[in-house]
Structure 1
Amino acid sequence: MKSTLSPDRTELKERWAEYKLANPKSRIRDDAKALGTSEAELLATGLGSHVQLLDGDFRELIKEMGSLGHVMALTRNDHVVHERKGVYEKISFNNHVGLVLGEDIDLRLFLGDWKFGFAVSENERYSLQFFNSFGEAAHKIYLTEKSDKKAYDALVTKYLATDQDVNLFVTEKKEKVAEPDEVADFDQAVFQQEWLALKDTHDFFTLLRKHKLSRKQALRNAPEGYAHRIKPESMKPLFDAISETRLPIMVFVSNPNCIQIHTGPIKKIFVMGPWLNVMDPEFNLHLREDAIDEAWVVQKPTEDGIVTGIELIDKDGVMFNQFFGKRKPGIPELAEWPALIELHSIKF
């Protein structure tokens, strides 16, 4: 059944077309900001042509993602894009929290606010794209030349919304409030003791919530020797050193709805404008270096010894990118990793 655009969507579609003519290299996320709308609302202007609205329980859809075979998983936030190719394997859910634990595609999914889903076909490129209630991209899955297109078509048919002529109602997002310099009712000594008593890196989030600290506030109040800043321009020499040594690392990129992880080496590194890029056959990373307000080297105790990470934080205090040496529970971190950071990071 052919879809008829509502007047509002028709007007937005026309505005977007005009904007793309003037800005042909701009991407949809940036287009949405420029037009004062959301990415999901822009995408919905294609309903009835190259975009199809999905419905149903997205947990069940994700559980079937392995049927597509080799795909590209994409998770991003405002400052970094993480693209990893592979197969969705070992998929499980506990309520709305999901895990994908394949050798290549490694995800933590938070589906409580996965509001909209679309199947998109553009220039023979097929994808499944999911958005939260604010119309922001949660996670995207693209077919590759190795994917099973028939399985994709079957999934789209199975989860296709009955009504394709709908208006999307997104929630208006509140403006971010700057964090205070001082933390009220904060006992630094107790916080530092509890930091030093950590048994697992995942417990750090609980520690921050308990003491009502932002990431920046926590790092500024770390125990002596457990957190120090490095210059944001450290990332290029660090990437180059990782590439040259073939040291396997873990690259975490997160948004409120998904965390995506690459584990392994990174090889082809180059800079284009503000973007620091990794362009390997199975893994791509695009990091806006000018978005790094603070870069920290952070150490946390675990039952397997100290775990060292690099954390990138933007001007709003949001931690948007993390790097670790390759490790698994029960195995200490690679000794080469903190040594590489010490040797190649640019200190204040």
Structure 2
Amino acid sequence: MTTSSLWHRYLALKAEQPKLRMRDAAARLGASEGELVAADPAATRLKTEWAALLGGLKAAGPLLALTRNEAAVHEKTGVYEHVQIEGKMGLALNPNIDLRLFLSQWRHAFAVGGERPSMQVFDQQGEAVHKIYVVEDTDRAAFEALLAAHADVPRPVAPEPRPSPEHKADEEVDIDAFRQQWRELRDTHEFFGLLRRHGLGRVQALRLAPPEFARQVGIGAVDAVLGAAAESGLPIMVFVGNAGCVQIHTGPVHRIAPMGPWLNVLDPGFNLHLRMDLCREAWLVRKPTSDGIVTSLECYDADGALIVQFFGERKPGKPELPPWTALADSLADIAPGTPRPSAA
């Protein structure tokens, strides 16, 4: 369909369902969100000059960073400072805007107008990888000037098929070598190389891991972690990502609010929204590092895609917080299949 006809179909659907989000509307229309944004007459395509675009955001002051996957939405408010771009990799290392950027997946960018102007980035499939919105204290003039300076000629988004991941069958894996190399890890980032060397998917790796380093637990462990952290004030780290971006919250959480299938954190400066009905497996994962064992709670969907990770607050060179280790250890008592507290 043409961009014009797609947009008219969207307007008709929106008139019937005013609260329908653009991502959901695109799915209803058989299009990607990127295609629908490209069809928006109020959207301007941007040149994919990532270093200049991201580096120029500091002048706009506070902004809302949004990164999501199918089952999780992570929102942080802060200033885009200390942005580092090297080739196809990027970082933003700030107390609030903490990002890991995989720019080979960043294919399309748009300035979207309206009541709440934004910059929205999409991958080769037209899926959103990162969005940046103005907030009350944003210097809107600076934000809009930056985007205007990078305006590009309009063209539609043509989604490409998502490549299917190729993983070895369990019987093809040298499990002894894999387990030994897991035990020899010295940094959590070495885990990605370990998976690549052995041709493993993440959940498959957890199933085949040394038993002392990975244990499946009930989905209610997510409720338990957030509830205990909110009650105790224990600072945690919350990672949500997709193929193009990982966004991190570090600090306490306070207001935990279940709403239907959603489990939410609704705090000033940080919102987390989890579709718990899409969470199929939760794992307690331990990785050895030069600073000691690092423990995480990880949640996966029915396809084995990572939804969210929780860690205790920590910095390189320091061991993880003993209260976090104790909290994580307590999750082992939540057996797979145990009903969630809110669903009991």
Contact 1:178-1:316 at 8 Å conserved across structures? no
Return structure 1 stretches of 4+ with deviation > 4 angstroms.
176-180
Alignment of 1:1-348 (within 5 A): 8-47=2-41, 50-122=42-114, 124-161=115-152, 163-164=153-154, 166-173=155-162, 182-343=169-330, 346-348=334-336
CA distance in 1, matches of 2:167, 2:35: 30
1:252 is matched by which residue type in structure 2?
F
| TM-score for the superposition, normalised by structure 1 | 0.92
- Offset from partner CA, 1:146-173 (integer Å, 9 cap, x none): 1111211210221011x23x33322233
1:155 is matched by which residue type in structure 2?
L
Shift of 1:179: 6.8
Contact 2:166-2:199 at 8 Å conserved across structures? no
Shift of 1:184: 4.0
CA distance in 2, matches of 1:270, 1:145: 24
CA distance in 1, matches of 2:167, 2:181: 23
CA distance in 2, matches of 1:321, 1:275: 14
CA distance in 2, matches of 1:333, 1:284: 24
Shift of 1:105: 0.6
1:172 is matched by which residue type in structure 2?
P
Matched position secondary structure for 1:125: coil
1:135 is matched by which residue type in structure 2?
G
Contact 1:253-1:259 at 8 Å conserved across structures? yes
CA distance in 2, matches of 1:212, 1:178: 7
Shift of 1:18: 2.1
Contact 2:295-2:328 at 8 Å conserved across structures? no
Contact 1:179-1:317 at 8 Å conserved across structures? no
Q: Specify whether residues 110 and 178 from structure 1 end up closer, same or farther in structure 2 by C-alpha distance, changes over 3 A only.
A: closer
Shift of 1:56: 4.2
CA distance in 2, matches of 1:221, 1:42: 41
CA distance in 2, matches of 1:309, 1:146: 35
Shift of 1:71: 0.7
Shift of 1:283: 0.2
Contact 2:91-2:101 at 8 Å conserved across structures? yes
Contact 1:71-1:87 at 8 Å conserved across structures? yes
CA distance in 2, matches of 1:167, 1:261: 31
CA distance in 1, matches of 2:166, 2:80: 38
| Runs of at least 5 residues in structure 2 that lack an aligned partner in the other structure | 337-344
Matched position secondary structure for 1:210: helix
301-310 or 103-112: which moved more? 103-112
- Offset from partner CA, 1:72-126 (integer Å, 9 cap, x none): 100001110000011111111111100100111100111113111111122x211
2:243 is matched by which residue type in structure 1?
P
Shift of 1:137: 0.5
2:23 is matched by which residue type in structure 1?
R
Matched position secondary structure for 1:261: strand
